[in-house]
């Protein structure tokens, strides 16, 4: 069960992330066209618990846990192509679990623009390696390489019409586990 303080901190973090890229440059065009799109982190994919394959979901079966801590970036408006170019880096916190063999691992996360689903351009899945450099270290922060997205607006759209989502790429069991925790 989460403490009230923990929920408050998580809620504030998600709220601040939602407006994190809202300060793009505006050079003579309508502000709503050129503003950075809203970046959203769905609470069901904001965390990852990786269990040992074939094991249960007991605390002793946890290889590692992860959460999205923050992201930073910016965007630019190209009036000739009517596109918004978004650049961002995502920061993750990974906590070692008792079932992790060795000092390293890997996870995946996604950057998605639901408007373009089911086109492959609508979602990028990225792999991120991590390593605990010391056997006694239980938590590491990992920042991924810069992700770039080009969002075409056409003539009838504003950037606010096209939110971008980031989250951990979860399998069905992991997603259900998170949903149970979030109830």
Maximum separation of any 2 CA atoms in the chain, in Å: 58
* Coil, strand or helix at 145: coil
Q: What pLDDT sits at residue 121?
A: 80
Q: What pLDDT sits at residue 75?
A: 92
Specify burial of residue 57 (Cβ count, 10 A radius: 0-12, 13-18, 19+): middle
Token pair 């190209």 is found at 78
Token pair 């060795």 is found at 102
Q: What pLDDT sits at residue 8?
A: 36
Q: Give one DSSP letter per residue of 52-110, joined into a string.
A: PTTS-SSGGGEEEEEEEEEEEEEEEEETTTTEEEEEEEEEEEEEE-TT--SSEEEEEEE
The C-alpha atoms of residue 162 and residue 6 are separated, in whole angstroms, by: 30
How many structural domains comprise the chain? 1
H/E run at residue 18: helix 4-18
Give me the domain span that covers residue 35.
Answer: 4-182
- Mean per-residue pLDDT pooled into runs of 10, the chain (183 residues): 38 42 45 76 96 90 97 91 92 97 95 87 94 87 94 80 94 94 85
Q: What pLDDT sits at residue 36?
A: 87
The C-alpha atoms of residue 41 and residue 168 are separated, in whole angstroms, by: 9
Length of the chain: 183
Q: What pLDDT sits at residue 33?
A: 53
Please choose, from the candidates 179, 106, 101, 91, the residue with its C-alpha nearest in 3D space to the C-alpha of residue 143: 91
Residue 47 token pair: 């965390």
Residue 30 token pair: 């309508």
The C-alpha atoms of residue 97 and residue 74 are separated, in whole angstroms, by: 34
């Amino acid at each position: 069960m989460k403490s009230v303080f923990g929920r408050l901190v998580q809620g504030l973090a998600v709220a601040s992330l939602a407006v994190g890229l809202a300060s793009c440059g505006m050079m003579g065009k309508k502000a709503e066209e050129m503003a950075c799109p809203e970046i959203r982190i769905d609470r069901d994919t904001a965390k990852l618990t990786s269990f040992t394959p074939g094991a249960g979901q007991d605390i002793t079966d946890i290889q590692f846990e992860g959460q999205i801590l923050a992201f930073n970036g910016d965007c630019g408006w190209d009036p000739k192509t009517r596109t918004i170019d978004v650049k961002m880096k995502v920061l993750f916190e990974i906590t070692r679990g008792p079932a992790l063999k060795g000092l390293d691992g890997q996870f995946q996360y996604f950057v998605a623009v639901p408007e373009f689903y089911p086109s492959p351009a609508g979602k990028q899945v990225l792999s991120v390696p991590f390593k605990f450099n010391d056997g006694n270290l239980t938590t590491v922060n990992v920042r991924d390489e810069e992700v770039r997205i080009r969002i075409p607006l056409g003539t009838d759209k504003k950037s606010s019409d096209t939110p971008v989502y980031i989250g951990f790429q979860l399998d069905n069991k992991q997603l259900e586990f998170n949903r149970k925790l979030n109830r």
